[in-house]
Amino acid sequence: MKVVLFCGGMGLRMREASETLPKPMVPLGNRPIIWHLMKYYAHHGHRDFIFCLGHRSQTFKEYFLNYNEFVSNDFVISDGGRTVELLRRDMADWRLTFLETGIDANIGERLLQARGHLADEAMFLANYADGLSDCHLPLLVDLLESRPGCVGAFMAARPSTSFHFVETDPAGVVLGVRDVAEADLWVNAGYFVFRPAIFDHIRPGEELVLQPFERLIAERRLVAHPHRGFWRGCDTFKDLQTLETLMARGRAPWAVWRTEADARNADGALVAAAVRMAGLDTRGGRP
């Protein structure tokens, strides 16, 4: 399935992290936030990405046109530095389409401009490109597939804010204070699956989750998957710090591509490279 990434917003609440970068391009570790999201989708088999660009669109283009595989992959240098061999690649089978969808366009308008690139899709994925999760993506896809009459599905998550909800009586006497995590509240986490029929519900100038979703809700053609695992919207500098801390501690729940199989493959590649550099065959003798 193709993955539509909404990358056109101003990211005003992330100004503390960067005055010059769009929010999805703010670094998280040695790669931008959007890279982590793309790795998540690629891990689940979806490697055809459509960028709906707006604010500082050239930042995305320049980054991927000059993409350096060596930053996040193991490699071997041999022959006195004359030969460099990557042991794995990120983007070898990725396809990226960049669309200029306007500085001031909202999400609905950006999605409409991607319609021509989704004509042959029975379903497609979409994402706000500013939140990370460990949600098992096939669950979300299967939810929509199991509802032939539905047009869209999205992941719902617990709010990741630190606010407290206050309950009072009519006189203003406080009856209770609850952390947001204790309240039975869910938010749209920005992970979507759509059928092409979604385009029939979006009119010019409409925001995706307002009028179009209201129509789908009235028709009972929109479903949500409540995800109780990890999700963090990276809206503020504090959110970014939280994600950075998880990475520094070796606990990045969204990095679902770091599986035991990946580790075994990496170890095998390292051994094979060492054998080649030593001039030995796999039986321990000279070739």
Which domain range does residue 99 map to? 2-256
User: What gap in Å lies between CA 19 and CA 11, rounded to an integer?
Assistant: 10
Average the pLDDT over each of 85-89, 128-132, 218-222 and give the range with the smallest value: 85-89
* Global confidence as pTM: 0.82
Rounded to the nearest integer, the mean pLDDT of the chain is 85
264 inside domain: no
Q: How many domains does the chain have?
A: 1
Q: Determine what percent of the chain is predicted with pLDDT higher than 70.
A: 83
How much is the average pLDDT of 169-179? 81
94-104 burial, b at 16+ Cβ within 10 Å, e below that, comes to bebebbebbee
263 inside domain: no
Average the pLDDT over each of 5-9, 178-182, 211-215 and give the range with the smallest value: 178-182
We report the CATH number of the domain holding residue 150 as 3.90.550.10
Tell me the pLDDT tens digit for each residue of 193-210. Answer: 999 999 999 999 999 999
User: For residues 73 and 86, is the Cβ–Cβ distance under 8 A?
Assistant: yes
User: What gap in Å lies between CA 262 and CA 106, rounded to an integer?
Assistant: 38
105 inside domain: yes
For residue 2, list its beta bridge partners: 48
Residues 6+ apart with CB under 8 A from 226: 156, 157, 186
DSSP letters along 182-239, please?
Answer: GS---EEEEEEEE-GGGGGG--TT--TTTHHHHHHHHTT-EEEEEE-S-EEE--SHHH
pLDDT confidence band for 20 (50 / 70 / 90): confident
Average the pLDDT over each of 43-52, 132-141, 241-250 and give the range with the smallest value: 241-250
Per-residue confidence (pLDDT) for residue 261, from 0 to 100: 47
265 inside domain: no
Within 10 Å of residue 66's Cβ, how many Cβ atoms?
A: 7
Burial of 55 (0-12, 13-18, 19+ CB in 10 A): middle
Per-residue confidence (pLDDT) for residue 162, from 0 to 100: 60
User: What gap in Å lies between CA 93 and CA 89, rounded to an integer?
Assistant: 9
How much is the average pLDDT of 36-58? 96
Please name the residue that has the structure tokens 């990226």: 96
285 inside domain: no
For residue 103, list its beta bridge partners: none
Tell me the pLDDT tens digit for each residue of 83-123. Answer: 888 888 888 899 999 999 999 999 999 999 999 999 899 99
